[in-house]
Structure 1
Amino acid sequence: MEKFLLGIDIGTSACKVAMFDLQGKVISQAAREYKVYYPHLGFVEQNPNEWWECVCLAIKETIVSSKINAKQIAGIGVDGQSWSAIPINAKGDVLSNTPIWMDTRASDICKETVNRVGNDRIFRLCGNSFEPTYSTPKILWFKKNMPDVYNSTYKFLQSNSFIVYKLTRHTSQDLSQGYGVHSFNMKEGKWEDSFCEELGFDREKLPDIYQCHHIIGEVTSEAADQTGLIKGIPVVAGGLDASCGTLGAGVLKVGQTQEQGGQAGGMSICLDSSIGHPKLILSFHVVPNLWLLQGGTVGGGGAIKWFKQEFGAFEEFEAREKGVSPFKIMDEEAEKIPVGSDGLIFLPYMAGERSPLWDKNAKGVFFGLGYEKTRAHMIRAVMEGCAFALQHNIKTAEKIGVGINELVAIGGAANSRIWTQIKADITGKTIKVPTSDTATTLGAAILAGVGTGLYKSFEQAVEDTIEITRTHQPDMQAHTRYKNNYDIYIELYEKLKDTMQKV
């Protein structure tokens, strides 16, 4: 009987479920959208129970459309967005919505904690700065502002470990998501109990840590009834979405870099040692004995989606007339505009900015508008601005001697040839594109395949499942022309950042 693997991705705007054969081919897939809540300024929340409801529906649809017997599913891997703090009680009930990676409600707590403990001490242990978007400040926020929730919390879970819990009824913390909690020893991959106390929360509220391909448990009868799965299917710990996407892109070698073009943007540079930068993000890879130096930006596919929603009525109309995606029409328009968008520059800070600025008050800006500028100029400027944000992170990594050999692009933005070429030209790096739409869920599925022994190694899994579909070489003349706009891009934020605080 042929065997298959299931990958589940808990993204910001939707969950995705995909079934793969052992060669990495998508047999079927489904997605379900859920809400993001903004109850107060700086608060950005989601309801984990809504994640689960959508996962159940997506799994059912995936199984039905695959026309495959659920008994043939040999393993399940789950990846998810970073920096959740999901409080569950001993019965497994969710006690509150979770703040997600864009949430900055704990800014004051960060200032107090850094003053008390010292940012240098925190960074030396966990390789990450103490920022409000991480999990630790959110846990401390619950303790200070919702003490009943904090006191009733049995464990704080991450997005993927919550879904793993719902499938198996076992709590866990995978290695790649450990970096969100600042009592995590980045070199040794373990909790430092005394540092939990010093930061101000209880160690026992953190789950035990597991390798990402470790089998946490099996699908329960209850979960089988809710999802259409079969009881007893092994479920592995899973990992961070960016790390699973990095694996699904085939990034296993030092210097290889995954470039993320989903709702948000970012990069993950593969390392064989723990090397951090205070303005970047350091985590374990989902592959043992490797680390990822990451840059996470707000500007990504979400920026171009925002532009389409607010200003893209023409593109929507044209797309309906031609029977194509409005994003294809936007690509065609951007291609007509010269390199540098005739001096129009976009700062893609649509919800503040993460690395390397870490400024929750940073604002999106179009600079250089004039009567001669068109909507097509603005579309290309958005693409270039997101690519400048990527370059800003790459340049930051280079300051500590971390070099990049090549980029491997994943996410919806990688389907855009013009946008991918813009990124190659701005960074001056070769960009390879695998099957971009499924890299993240494929990475989660590979974890299940390795954990259950269907693949002998991660290297075998990558060789068997991943194929590069196209390669973009940088146009070095364009790269030279972009340098001036990039310098202006950096200068604009520096000159506007104080003004941005006032808005």
Structure 2
Amino acid sequence: MKKTLLMSVDLGTSFIKTGVYNTDGECVAESLEAVKDYRPKPGVFIQKGEELFDSVLSCMKNVCTTLGNNAKNIEAIAFTGQMSGFMGVNERWEDITTWSCSLDSRYIPYANRQMSLLKDKFLEISGTNFPAMAPKFEWYNTEFPEESKKIVKYLMISGYVIGRLGDLAIEDAVIDRSYISWTGLADVNNDQWSKEICEAIGLDSKYLPNIVNCNHVCGYLTEKMASVIGLKSGIPLVSGAGDKVAGCLGTGTVEPGDLVFEASSYGEISCCVEEYRPDTKARRLDVLASAIPGEYYATHFIAGSGITLDWFINTFIRNDEEELGDAFARIEKKAMELTPGSDGLMSIGLLGGSSMPLDGTLRGMWMGHSWSHKKEHFYRSLLESFTFDFSLALDSIERLYPEYKMNDVTIVGGGANSSIWPQMNADVTGKTYYKLNRKDASMLATSIIAGNAIGLFPDLKQTAKQFSERSDKFSPNFGNQEIYVKHKKLYEDYTKELHSFYKGIQNLQS
């Protein structure tokens, strides 16, 4: 084990994960701790700050127990995790609102109202098609007025954990630049809060944390917290980056024009760019500020794409006692034998609606099926629908950034292990796809940021490229691309033209 160690803490929705890395980018110990949540009724999903923080402490303590005496070699701690949510605290860092992540949808009516008034401002200034913190502020302030009076700062979960671990003064609360787009409150081009947007929703920016770079040392681990965890006190607490941005860094997606496709629960395609250019034409892109100052990621995600695939397998394919992975492998083997276009079966897989462009009325649909279609046709068409959606986002990126050569894509996440999806993406987009040689991109990147903050890794870009290597190659079949381009156009048309159809169904249920 290398002497100097770096700790990464991932603040996930369901789990807290802690990894410890040496200076060669090797994970030498890790721990996982479940996070408790409350779902008292549909649309309500909350996590109590104190319980969440206890899970963080427990997870950090467990990994230190695994390390034993080597825990004394940890020299910096950095953070990654959820990028969309809202928490309000008082001057003593006490949780007033609870942590309300993206799964807590009580704010949606306020989001719809704000979008009707500020849709273009959110995209052009803050870089997002659908903000979270801005409408959550209005929701809580309106529906819980007395509790709102106790709030001194509105935070992301990483800022809350850092403040507690370092016992920071509340005026020193931070948010790193990678998170600011999805708040809907920031001027992303200038790494500052937008006076225009804040005034429009009635929020005084004094209630917002300080925006810092991802390698910012926010404070130091207190003696009290160090004693609980099993670490030495005074370890630098580094801001880190949100999980999507950290994932981009950890895959070596750091040069303008570099592309990464994260095939995960919330699938996402991202391109490293040098400036933000809003996609006002198609509205298929958000922007996320990079961990590297001055750079950004033009990004598109599908809400719950991986969750939809799991739903399909669990509902229609998986047998009793069968492992989920085995069920996937079984249906994919059959789906591979089918021709592009699934023998005339098409799908819309947006079970949670479309985030980019924003259309909350869209849901799932299969069309064109006959008695000849089998389960594998439905599965393949679902994969094809997601691939068309991501390919349309790539078209927007290439339209907005024509100066970049975008010939290949790194694919990571659970979908990278599919026997069919990487090749399908290559065929639809006409680009070469490569798998990454490791599965811990965001945690690795967080350790790199921690090391950079204390001078171990002077160049974030070079270190990220050094630690990430690509393996399996998937070259496009241009014959298949000719077939797919027609299906992709139909998919784009249908998601627009069928809006009233979906709306009609939903009206019947209201």
Q: Which secondary structure does the structure 1 equivalent of 2:440 belong to?
A: helix
Q: Which runs of 5+ in 2 are unaligned?
A: none
Q: Which secondary structure does the structure 2 equivalent of 1:239 belong to?
A: coil
| 2:491 aligned to which of 477, 489, 492 | 489
Shift of 1:206: 0.4
CA 1:161–1:348 in 2, change beyond 3 Å: closer, same or farther? farther
- Normalised by the length of structure 1, the TM-score is 0.90
In 1, Cα distance between the equivalents of 2:97 and 2:114? 23
Query: Which residue is 2:150 aligned to?
Result: 152
> 2:158 is matched by which residue type in structure 1?
N
Q: Which secondary structure does the structure 1 equivalent of 2:439 belong to?
A: helix
> 2:393 is matched by which residue type in structure 1?
N
Map residues 254-265 of structure 1 onto 2, 5 A cutoff: 254-265=256-267
- Conservation of the 8 A alpha-carbon contact between 2:318 and 2:327: no
Say whether residues 1:445 and 2:447 are aligned partners. Answer: yes
- Conservation of the 8 A alpha-carbon contact between 1:383 and 1:419: yes
Query: Which residue is 2:297 aligned to?
Result: 292
Deviates more, 1:68-77 or 1:329-338: 329-338
Provide the alpha-carbon RMSD of the alignment.
2.6
Shift of 1:215: 0.9
Say whether residues 1:312 and 2:317 are aligned partners. Answer: yes
Say whether residues 1:390 and 2:395 are aligned partners. Answer: no
Shift of 1:54: 3.4
- Conservation of the 8 A alpha-carbon contact between 1:411 and 1:436: no
Query: Which residue is 1:23 aligned to?
Result: 24
- Conservation of the 8 A alpha-carbon contact between 1:83 and 1:135: yes
- Normalised by the length of structure 2, the TM-score is 0.89
In 2, Cα distance between the equivalents of 1:32 and 1:333? 37
Map residues 318-337 of structure 1 onto 2, 5 A cutoff: 319=323, 325-337=326-338
Query: Which residue is 2:460 aligned to?
Result: 458
> 1:144 is matched by which residue type in structure 2?
T
Shift of 1:244: 0.6
Map residues 166-205 of structure 1 onto 2, 5 A cutoff: 166-170=164-168, 171-193=173-195, 195-205=197-207
- Conservation of the 8 A alpha-carbon contact between 2:410 and 2:470: no
Say whether residues 1:72 and 2:73 are aligned partners. Answer: yes
Q: Which secondary structure does the structure 1 equivalent of 2:180 belong to?
A: helix
CA 1:342–1:159 in 2, change beyond 3 Å: closer, same or farther? farther
Shift of 1:46: 4.1
In 1, Cα distance between the equivalents of 2:330 and 2:204? 53
- Conservation of the 8 A alpha-carbon contact between 2:300 and 2:393: yes
Query: Which residue is 1:302 aligned to?
Result: 307
| 1:136 aligned to which of 134, 137, 157 | 134
CA 1:176–1:319 in 2, change beyond 3 Å: closer, same or farther? closer
Number of residue-to-residue matches in the alignment: 495
- The one-character-per-residue Cα deviations of 1:189-237 (angstroms, maximum 9, x if unpaired) are 1124464233311211101111001111122234334444432222211
Shift of 1:448: 0.6
- Conservation of the 8 A alpha-carbon contact between 2:154 and 2:209: yes
Query: Which residue is 2:126 aligned to?
Result: 126
Map residues 85-484 of structure 1 onto 2, 5 A cutoff: 85-113=86-114, 118-129=118-129, 131=130, 133-170=131-168, 171-193=173-195, 195-278=197-280, 279=283, 280-314=285-319, 317=321, 319=323, 325-355=326-356, 357-401=357-401, 404-484=406-486
Q: Which secondary structure does the structure 1 equivalent of 2:352 belong to?
A: coil
- Conservation of the 8 A alpha-carbon contact between 1:78 and 1:237: yes
In 2, Cα distance between the equivalents of 1:368 and 1:58? 49
In 1, Cα distance between the equivalents of 2:183 and 2:74? 33
- The one-character-per-residue Cα deviations of 1:414-453 (angstroms, maximum 9, x if unpaired) are 2224222222222221222224520111111111111111
